[in-house]
Amino acid sequence: MRRLIVLLALLPMTAFAQSAGEVERCFQTPGACSTGSAPAPMAPAAAPRPAAPQPDYTTVLNSPEPDRRKLQESLRTLDKYTGPIDGNLQSEATVKGIADWQRGHNAPVTGKLTPPEAVALNNEAARAPIKRIDPSSQAAAPPPAPPAAAPAPAHSNADALKALQARLAERRKAAEPKAEAAARSLVNDLKAYAAADGKGAAGEFAGFAKWYADNKAAGRSVGEIAPVIDDYGDAKGGAAVSSEVLIESKKDGNSQSHCMVFAWIEGSPRRNAQAFSCDDVAAVEKWKTDQALRSAWR
C-alpha cells in the first residue's frame, strides 16, 4: 500500500484519470504504459490529389474543315509542311509538321494540337512576312521546259538610246537633201506671196494668209524669213514636212518677230497644208498623228 501511495505521488496528475487496475499494471510492467499523456488521436487521411487534366486534342481534330485547312496553311507558311491543304490533321505529313512546330516551341511533341496551341500557330503564321504558293495548285502544271540557250546580255537603256540615236541620225542624213529642198521652196513661196501683195502658192496655208492680211491692214510689211526644219518623214499621203519659221514684220522702223509652224504633204500643190502658232504644240502634234508621220528628222 505504501508503494502505491509513492507511485501515485510521482505520476502526473492526468494519471488519476486512470483506474487503479491500470495503475497497478503500469507499476508491474512500465513498458506497457504510455508516458502519462493520453494517446494522440489519429490524423485524418490526406485527401487524394486530383489527377492532372489530360490535354484536349479532340477539339482541334474535330474542328470544322476550314479551321483545319487554315492550320495546314499556317504550317506551310512557317516552312513546317509541304503537303496538300486538305484539312486532314492526322496525315503523316501534317503530324510531322505539328511535331516540328511544337519542338521549336519547347512544347510536348505529340503531333496534335490543343486549342491554345492552334491559336498560337495561326497567330505566328499571320505575322510571317512571306506567304508561299500552294504547291497542290501547281500539281497539274506541266514539267518545266528545258533551259534555253543563255540569251545575249541585255543592253542597258543608255545603249538602246545610243543605238536609236544612231539610226535616226542615219535616216536624217538620208532625208536631209529632200527636207532642205522642201524648206527652201516654202521660203520662196512665202516671199513671193508677200511680194505679190498676198497672192501666190503660199495662200495654201490659210493661217499664214490671215496673218499676212492682218499685218497688211495694220500697215506692217514682211521682212526676214528664217526657217528651221522641225520634222520630215514618210506619211500616209507621202513625204511630210513641218517647219518652224520666224517671220519678221516691220513698221515705221520697228520690227517684230513672229513664229509659225508650217506643215504639209509634199506635192504640187501641197496637200493638207496648215500653219499654226509655234505655241500651239498640241495642234502641230495632232496634225502629225493624223498624217501617220514616221519621222526621219527628230
pLDDT digits (tens, 9 = 90+) for 19-46: 556 656 665 666 655 555 555 556 566 6
Query: Which are the contacts of 24, defined by CB distance < 8 A and separation ≥ 6?
Result: 4
Radius of gyration of the chain (CA): 55
The answer to whether 289 and 263 are in contact (CB under 8 A) is no
Q: Say what the alpha-carbon torsion angle 218, 224, 225, 228 is, to the nearest 10 degrees.
A: -130
Selection from 83, 53, 133, 127 nearest residue 98 by Cα: 83
Mean pLDDT of 170-184: 88
- The pLDDT, as a whole number, for residue 253 is 83
Kindly state the DSSP code that residue 135 receives in the 8-state scheme. G
pLDDT digits (tens, 9 = 90+) for 103-120: 999 999 999 999 999 999
- The pLDDT, as a whole number, for residue 51 is 72
Beta strands in the chain (DSSP E): 221-235, 238-251, 254-265, 271-277, 294-295
The answer to whether 90 and 68 are in contact (CB under 8 A) is no
pLDDT digits (tens, 9 = 90+) for 122-175: 999 888 875 544 555 544 556 666 666 556 555 578 888 888 888 878 888 888
- The pLDDT, as a whole number, for residue 136 is 54
Q: How many CA atoms lie within 13 A of 223 on its CB side?
A: 15
Cell numbers representing residue 105 in the block: 516551341
Q: Which of 12-16, 72-76, 80-84, 218-222 has the lowest mean pLDDT?
A: 12-16
Q: Which of 63-67, 143-147, 270-274 has the lowest mean pLDDT?
A: 143-147
Mean pLDDT of 40-62: 77
**How would DSSP label each residue in 9-64?**
HHS-GGGGGS-HHHHHHHHH-GGGS-SSSPPPPPPPPPPPPPPPPPP--HHHHTS-
